Each structure stands twice: as C-alpha cells, then as structure tokens.
Structure 1
C-alpha cells in the first residue's frame, strides 16, 4: 500500500460522524423507553446503555480485527488476532487509509455501528428478558453474528464484491441494510419467539407510556443518522452530500407515507406513527444512501413507509410478541431498502456512488438489467438465514445455561423494580419502594 497521508478534513468529519452515530444509542434508549409501559422504562433504557458497555471493549479487543482483518474460514470472518487490542494497527492498515483517515478513527466509527445494532434488538424483547441474560447475549451475539456479518459484507468476505454473487454484480450495502437492520431484525424475531409473549399480550392494552420520549428519541436518531449514512463515505465529499440529501428526503417521505397509511387504516395520523415512519425511512435508505438519486430515495421512502406501517400488525396475525416493532420496522425496512437498490441504483455515471470503481451497478429501472436485483435478493436472504440460524443457537444455549425470562411476578409487578430496584416515576411509588428494596 502507498504511504499513508493524513487528510485532516476527512479525519475531522469521521470523528464527528462517529460521535453522531454513538449518540444514536442514547436516542434509541429514549425512543424505546417511551414506547414501553411506565413500569419498564428504566430497564428498556438500560438495555441500550448495557450494549454500549459490553460492545465497546469487545470491539477494541477483537471486533474490528474480526470484521476487517484477513479472511478466515472461507470468507466468514476476518482474523480476530490480527489487530487484537487495537494498539498495533498502523494507519496504512486503516479501513479508511485511502481517504487519509487514521486507523483508530476507523475503529471508533465502526464500533458505534456494532453498538447500535445490538441495542436495536432489545426492542423485540422488552419487558420480559433477564438483564443478565441480555448482557451475555449482547457479548455472544456481537462476536458470532455481527462481526462475521460485517466481515462478509464490508470486509471482503462471502457477501462482498468477490463473494457468492461475483458472477452477477457487486452487492450494494452502503451503510448497513444487511449488516445492521436485517441482522438485528431477524435476531429480534428469533428472540421474541423463543422468549414467548408478554403476559396479557393481545388481551390488554400495552400502550406507550411517554410519547414525548418517543418523539425525542426519533429526533435524536434522525440527527445521528447523518453520521451513520453520510459518514459511511469515509470522506467529506460529494458522495457524502448525496447520502445526506437522500437520508433527509427518504425519511421525510416515509414519515408522510406512514401517516397517510394510518389515516386511511385507523382514522388518525399519530405522533407514534410519525416517529415510527421516521425510523422506517432511515432504515430503508441506509443501504442505498449513496447509490440512488433523489427520485430513487423518494420511492424507497414511500414504499418503506407504507410497508412498515402495515408490517407492524403482523405480530398479532402470527402471534409473536415483537414488543416495539423491531421486525416490522428494521427487518421489513432493511429488506425493502436492500432489495429496492436492485431497481433504483443509479451509479453508472460515477457521480452518485464514486465508491463503486467499475461504475456499472445501475438498477433495473436505470438500464442495469436484473443482475443487481438478483444480487440484492440473494445477499438479503443469506443475511436472514445466517442471522436466524446463529441467533437461534445462541438464544437456546443461553436459555439452557441461565434462563432468558424474568419470573412472572416480576413481569407483572414491573421489571424496573424487580431487576434494578428502582422505578422511573414517583407515581409508581418509586422512592418508597426503592428504600424498601435497599432495606
């Protein structure tokens, strides 16, 4: 590799983008925390904060190396010992070396992706999973599912440019449709099924206890997502600008599409629907952020807003308790964005996606034929299968070893008090009950 040349502008942008993406996890804590009942809000927020605590050291020790190190096991994972500890890596080995960004900044940026992906899963198991089991799950899942998936898609593995679709086209996942959203969505579905339903699911109302929290969380997610998508260019350039613009317009359209769907279906356009539509749009545009033009971004947002608004009701039809709609938003939204790239990709002019070297990855609607569409479908399905199988094994192993679910009396009385010895609000007797627990 050529000698590393520091680009201070790109480096400053990537440090900023890393901070923006890290902010998304506390934002998610507010988003999820507001959606649960008042007796569970602290536990819900602690699951996001717990993910931050567990994933950061794992990523610095072997996570980055496993994701972006030299191929092992036929492209399933990188060598986890190559950059172990993140101390010996040199800047010319940086994932972002071509952009003049030092290795430690690259490690920091990618760490925030691993953290938010694990935290996303928690919404599917809200109000009933043991906190201790969640912390163990987070550590094991990021090791055996997220890190291999990141390597397969972004690190030159099986789902990358020279992977299983090499004869068709180069798969496009600019910022995490497969690695983050499909991966987390499938994991959430598996955990929800294995854990079982909350007591009273489908029989008694389980409404969000604090919609302002939900709106605040959605706003923080949208703000942080500019680091997520525009930052994935690894440089402060026109492609980052394209990702920024597409992130804005797709999200706006998805919010409107969700609200219109709600209005026709239920007679009301709700604040919860607006916040959920925002997240659905963010999810769907993530893999396509720099690979589509304005019209493609608007189309992806519209389709995602409608499909995700309809998909959140599937849990009642099929009987799985996805508490906070991780499946309906992240799995369905991730699949939508990943697959629709095959129709709307527009990078043939080398302007809207300069990170593709051959400039030939146009979608079906832009003269590219069916190869890109087939590639996107194959990679999406491979991600579903890998995440589903591995998460099932991990969840069943933890269930056998230590149990996954809190006792029924703790669930009914409130997981906050039972697990953490505190409650969020005085109206729930928080101060008095906390004193009793400590006594």
Structure 2
C-alpha cells in the first residue's frame, strides 16, 4: 500500500472512531437532562472494552480462515497481535486492525440507545464484553472475511451472486438493531413510558451528534477503498461511495420531514437529524453498488419508512428509548434488501436475476435472528445475576447521580433566596450637536 492510500486508511480510522462520540452526543441530547452523563458514558465505556478485546483476541476470532473455517477464528492464534506487529507488512496490517476495531466499537455503542435512562453501567460493560465475544467478532468474520459463510453464501448455494455488504448493513446495523430489541424487552419499559417521556432535553447536542456522524460516515463507508488497488485506481469505488453517502442521506432528511408534515406535525430539527441517520444506515451496505439515482431513491424510502417505524414502539409497547430498532434495524434491512432489487448489474430490476435478493434476504434474517438470540440470552443472564436495570426510585431521581455520582449540568447556587432589589438608574443627559 502506497503512502497516499495508507494515509487515507489512517484518516478513515480516525473518522470512524469519531463517530462513537458522535453517537454519544446524538443520544445524549435525546435523553432527559438527568440521564445525559449515563448515556454518553455507555458509548465511551464501549470504546474502552471493545478496543482492548479486539486487540487481545477479537481480530483473531473474526479471521474465520483459521479455527472453525467459515464460522469462527481461533482466538489464540495471535493473542495480543504479537505476530502481526512483527510481520513485514505490519504498518498496513495494524492500521487495518484499528479500522476494524472502530466498527466493532460503534456497533456496540448504537445498542445503548435502546436502554437509555434505566441501565446499570457495570452491567452494561459486562454485556459489551460478552456481546462482542459471542456475537460481533463472529458476525464480522461471517460477512467480511473472504471465507465467511455469509460472504460465500451464493457460491455455496450455486447462485450467480454473493452477499453485498460493503460497510455494515448486516454486521453493524441489523446486528445492533436486533440486539437493541432484545435488551429493550429484557429491561422492560421505563417508569411512566409514554410519548411525553421521549422529549429531548438538548436539541443542539442532537444536531451536533448527527453532524459528527455524517462527517465520520465518509470514512465508515469509504475507508476500505484504500485496500486492494487503492483509492486512485481506475476501478476504485471511492467516488461512487462519496456521492452516494451524500445523496442518500440528504434524500432521507427530506423523506423524514415530509412524513412529519403529512402527519400533521411541524418539521423538526430532531426529525431532520434522525432522517440523516436513517439515510446513512440504509446506504451503508449499498454505497459501492448503486448508481447515484438509485441511492437517492433508497434514502427517500429509508427516511419515510423509518419515520413511520419509530412510532410502532408505542403500539407494541416496547420501550426502545431512542429508536435504535426503528432507525438501525429497519434502516439496515431496507438498505440490505434494496440491493436485491437495484444492485448494479445483479439486482432483480438491474440484472434480471433474483439471486441477489435471495442471498441478501438470507443474510439479513440470519444476522437478525442470531443477534437477537445471543443478546437476549446475555441480557437475561446479566439481569438474573448481577442485575441490569437500576431501581425505579433511582431512575426517577436520575440515573446520572445514582450510577455515576455526577450531573451533566451544574448551575451555581443563588446568592439569595429572596427577591433581588433593583435600583433605578437615571438616564444620562443627551448632548446634542456633539
């Protein structure tokens, strides 16, 4: 890899890592003021646990060319990456490891939004460690390793197309969304669950988080283009990825705002931010395999459908606090299945074969079921042992002070509890003709 491609690889890694603080801001603004520290700490806690485990054994586990080929790599094959660090191509290899770690981190951070306001931090950290070990490290290998069973699904079935997931529609968003649904069911509804409880306490934080996510997403979708022949090669998809990441997101904003207007609401900034995230989620698996026009349509569909999907939690009485299921699971499914119809050259309407749709559907459902099952089992086990949910009285008092002993906002105490006397000041004389 030449210096230009290596530089982009490093920058893309930093961009994707920045997305997790972006998630923290986005989620932090959406929760109540007395839960903002807890919400943001769940993202930063995930950064700590996942990065360490990825370096120790996670990268080895996702290398499904070793161990049980196609399903899970040997976690001890290069424990702590000592062999990789001493290899002749260690510069490139280790940047690739770091790039992969940022995807694992943000996948877990996304899940936290489903259990806002009511989770113990220690229990969350335990869930993070178990989830990445028994779920993410495996799924990442299934989807992105050349020997992964999802990556080679079409070949094994004798079909003309293999699964397309360029940047994580299945491994990241469907995975995180299904896990979020499982944890929302395990922890149950918040005290006083209703539409009113979902009012964001700090809209500027939400917009800041969405902006950081969109900024970082260009590295999220485009970082892997540095591998192979590189971003400057004639066959590189980096230009297509860039324009699709821009266009689908913009179209999704419009779709979400239109739904707000058509359903009698005012177009909101939180809706625009949520629409942007829905568009980013949907384009993630498809960013390198759609023409720009089809990407615009995908974004529009994602914005409209996700805007309606987030309302289902009130009908189903499932307290997915910050709509992880409605945005990430639904958006991930839309983007993954959309490729079955419109992927360049292989989609049902762009290639004349149903093979792409078959493998996309099988991959999406497989990851959804696996992630839900693992997450529900792990969450249930934690709840029954160390306890996952905080006490109702601590939830009402504020999870920040109950769990972390600090507050997101500290206001100075008033010097006086009584009325403050105001002294009238006579106006100065006006001097004319000065």
Provide the rounded CA distance (Å) in 2 between the counterparts of 1:68 and 1:300: 32
Provide the rounded CA distance (Å) in 1 between the counterparts of 2:11 and 2:138: 26
- Tell me the residue number matched to 1:386: 370
Superposition pairs of residues 403-418 of structure 1, within 5 angstroms: 403-418=387-402
Preserved CA contact (<8 Å) 2:187 2:388:
yes
Q: CA deviation at 1:72?
A: 3.2
2:149 is the alignment partner of 1:158: yes
Q: CA deviation at 1:267?
A: 2.8
Q: 1:400 to 1:331 in 2, by over 3 A?
A: same
Q: CA deviation at 1:75?
A: 2.2
Superposition pairs of residues 232-381 of structure 1, within 5 angstroms: 232-234=224-226, 235-237=230-232, 238-346=236-344, 348=345, 362-381=346-365
Q: CA deviation at 1:90?
A: 6.3
Preserved CA contact (<8 Å) 1:157 1:163:
no
Q: CA deviation at 1:226?
A: 0.4
Provide the rounded CA distance (Å) in 1 between the counterparts of 2:301 and 2:88: 40
2:101 is the alignment partner of 1:89: no
Cα-Cα RMSD: 1.8
Q: CA deviation at 1:206?
A: 3.1
Q: 1:203 to 1:385 in 2, by over 3 A?
A: closer
Superposition pairs of residues 134-173 of structure 1, within 5 angstroms: 134-155=124-145, 156-162=147-153, 166-168=157-159, 169-173=161-165
Deviating more after overlay: 228-237 vs 122-131: 228-237
Q: 1:204 to 1:292 in 2, by over 3 A?
A: closer
Rg larger for: 2
Preserved CA contact (<8 Å) 1:39 1:428:
no
Provide the rounded CA distance (Å) in 2 between the counterparts of 1:245 and 1:190: 35
Q: CA deviation at 1:426?
A: 2.8
Preserved CA contact (<8 Å) 1:70 1:82:
no
Preserved CA contact (<8 Å) 1:187 1:387:
yes
- Tell me the residue number matched to 1:432: none
Q: CA deviation at 1:87?
A: 2.0
Preserved CA contact (<8 Å) 1:69 1:82:
no
- Tell me the residue number matched to 1:20: 15
- Tell me the residue number matched to 2:188: 196
Contiguous gaps of at least 5 residues in structure 1:
1-5, 349-361, 430-439
Preserved CA contact (<8 Å) 1:71 1:157:
no
Secondary structure at 1:291 match in 2: coil
Secondary structure at 2:197 match in 1: coil
Provide the rounded CA distance (Å) in 2 between the counterparts of 1:103 and 1:266: 53
How many pairs are equivalent?
A: 405
2:98 is the alignment partner of 1:108: yes
Match among 205, 208, 225 for residue 200 of structure 2: 208
Provide the rounded CA distance (Å) in 1 between the counterparts of 2:333 and 2:195: 30
- Tell me the residue number matched to 2:175: 183
Contiguous gaps of at least 5 residues in structure 2:
414-434
2:230 is the alignment partner of 1:225: no
Provide the rounded CA distance (Å) in 2 between the counterparts of 1:283 and 1:246: 12
Provide the rounded CA distance (Å) in 2 between the counterparts of 1:91 and 1:385: 39
Structure 2 length-normalised TM:
0.90
- Tell me the residue number matched to 2:428: none
Structure 1 length-normalised TM:
0.89
Match among 112, 115, 127 for residue 122 of structure 1: 112
Q: 1:160 to 1:93 in 2, by over 3 A?
A: farther
Preserved CA contact (<8 Å) 2:251 2:300:
yes
Provide the rounded CA distance (Å) in 2 between the counterparts of 1:203 and 1:16: 40
2:53 is the alignment partner of 1:61: no
Q: 1:308 to 1:205 in 2, by over 3 A?
A: same
Preserved CA contact (<8 Å) 1:69 1:80:
no
Provide the rounded CA distance (Å) in 2 between the counterparts of 1:247 and 1:345: 16
Provide the rounded CA distance (Å) in 1 between the counterparts of 2:34 and 2:237: 45
Q: CA deviation at 1:93?
A: 9.2
Provide the rounded CA distance (Å) in 1 between the counterparts of 2:185 and 2:218: 33
Preserved CA contact (<8 Å) 2:64 2:70:
no
Provide the rounded CA distance (Å) in 2 between the counterparts of 1:258 and 1:47: 27
Provide the rounded CA distance (Å) in 2 between the counterparts of 1:393 and 1:74: 25
Preserved CA contact (<8 Å) 2:153 2:163:
no
2:2 is the alignment partner of 1:10: no
